[in-house]
Amino acid sequence: MKVSAQNLHAFCVQALTQVGVGEPDARTAADVLVTTDTWGTFTHGTKALRAYIRRLRGGGLKKKGVPKVASEGPAWAMVDGDSSLGMVSSVFAMNLAMAKAATAGIAFAGLRNNCHYGAAGYYAAMAIEKNMIGFSMANDIPTVNAPGARGSVMGRNPFGFAAPAGNEKPILLDMATSTVAGGKVFAAAALGKTIPGQWLLDANAKPTTDPTLFSHAASLTPLGGYKGYGIAFMIEVLSAILTGAAIRRQVLSWTFSDASKPTGHGAAFIAINIASFRPVEQFKQRMDQMIREIRASEKADGADRIYLPGEMEWERREKALIEGIDLPEDVAASLRGLAEDLNLDFDRFLR
C-alpha cells in the first residue's frame, strides 16, 4: 500500500489529537514516526502508533504530559519526561543538549520517566542541521541474551549516531544492540515467515527459526556476542542508572504491559558542537574525503556498491518523498486497525 508522507503525517496527527494529545505534540510525534517510515525503518515508524495510543487511552502515557528540566549545569541536564509520548520528551531532551553544546562545546542530556522513543537515529540526526554531531541511546525491557546465559538479560538498547558532511550525504547510524531489532521478529511472525537461525535463542539457549516464540519463550542474540552485550550494558548505565530511570526488569513493556502504568524507560542524548573544535567547513571537507575514499575501496565479487552508514536511508527517503511510502502489509494492517479503533476513514488519507 502506497501513501504520501504528507497524508500519513496528517493521519497520525488526527489519530493523536482525537485521543486528546495537543496538536504541537501530535505533530512532533508524527514527524518522528513518518520520517522513520521514509527511511524504510518500518519496525519503528507508524506501525507503533497503535500501541502508543493504547497507552495514551489507558493512562500510562499522559496525553498532556510536559517534559521538564529536573536539574542542569552548563553542559548537562536531567529531564523528567512526565510520561509524555517518548518522541515528545526525546525531542525536548535532544534540543536541550544541542542548546547547551552551542556554548559549552559538548553537552549531555539524560531523560527519565520516558517511554519507547522510536528510532534512535532520528534524535541523533537532529544535530545535523545544527552542524553538530549527535548521539542518542535508550534502554528497554530485557529481551536479549548474554553469552553464557539462558533467557533474556539485557534490553535491545538502541543507539544512534549522526554527523554532517559537505557535498556527501550525512552519516547516520541507527542500530539495536541485538543482532536484529525485535520489531523485525514480530514482523516475521505477523507475516507467517521463518527467520534466520542466528536471530533468536529458545528457552534452552538453542538457535530457533520460529519468530512466534519471541519474546515469551525466546531471546534475541546480542550483536557480535559479548561486544553487543557490552555496548548494551554501557547504554543501560548512561540512559538508566545515571538518569534514575527504571533498570532492566523494572522497565515495563510498552506493547504488552498494563496500559495504565508508566513504562519508566530512560534515554540519553549527546551533542558535540563541531565549531568548538575546528572550522565546520574543514570538518565537512574531511568527512567528504573519508566517505569518498571508502566508496572507492575495492569491491568484493558480486558487489556493485559500498554503502556508507545511512546512505540507504537517505536515498529511500528521497524516493519516498517523491513517489510516496510503500508500506509493508503488517504496517498497513496496524494503521487500518488503529483507524477502526478510532472510527477514522483511513482510505481518505490514501487519496
Mention every residue, 6+ apart, whose C-beta is less than 8 A from residue 17: 23, 26
How does strand 106-114 pair with strand 132-138? unpaired
Which ranges of the chain would DSSP assign to H, the alpha helix? 5-18, 23-38, 49-58, 86-104, 120-125, 182-190, 226-236, 280-295, 311-323, 329-342
Distance (Å, whole) CA 118 – CA 254: 11
What three-state secondary structure class fits 1?
coil
Q: Residue written as cell 521514509?
A: 38
Length of the chain: 351
232-235: long-range contacts, CB 8 A cutoff, minimum separation 24? 232/144, 232/154, 232/155, 232/156, 232/157, 232/177, 232/178, 233/154, 235/137, 235/138, 235/139, 235/157, 235/158, 235/159, 235/177, 235/268
The total of other beta-carbon atoms located within 10 Å of residue 31's CB is: 16
76 within 8 A of 242, measured Cβ to Cβ: no
Q: Which of 9, 116, 216, 265 is catalytic?
A: 116
Q: Residue written as cell 534515554?
A: 267
For the question of residue 265 being annotated catalytic, the response is no
Distance (Å, whole) CA 135 – CA 122: 10
The residues that are catalytic are 116
